[in-house]
Amino acid sequence: MAVHTVREFGIPGVFAWETGLAPVIFVQVAIFVLWWHARSARPTLGLVLAATGLFLLVGGAILSILPLPFLPFAPAQTVNHYLSHVILGITQIPIVVIPLKLRRLEGPVDRSKGREPTQG
């Protein structure tokens, strides 16, 4: 998202709340830090992190480039602007995929005791 914001609004856009960069990055970094340190909450936080990435992929990279009547702005229909949104979309894919893959790799956990289930 930072690449898109700088390409479209310049360096001052990084710090402008109107661009949405600061609050979105703050939320994603906070969720990631919690996910990294709170091992017991990783499955839930992984889903939340993936959801923020999916929200930015669909809403930020795809829908916000289209001249839709409900948007409060008219997005530029230029190749340069499309390229910014392609970059934004590509950068969200790991934020969606990695937490979901790690969630699957960690395997099932017996939530009642906080341990892995035993065979038997």
Q: What angle do CA 110, 114, 117 make, to 5 degrees?
A: 35
What integer pLDDT is reported at residue 11 of this predicted model? 82
Scanning the chain, the segments in alpha helix (DSSP H) are 2-9, 12-15, 21-37, 42-55, 79-105
How do residues 5-27 score in pLDDT, each as one tens digit?
777 778 887 777 777 777 888 88
**The pLDDT value given to residue 115:** 57
Stretches in the chain below the pLDDT threshold 70: 1, 107-120
Contact 26, 19 (CB under 8 A): no
The whole-number pLDDT of residue 54 equals 94
pTM: 0.72
pLDDT of residue 93: 95
Would you kindly state where each structural domain of the chain is located, as residue ranges? 28-105
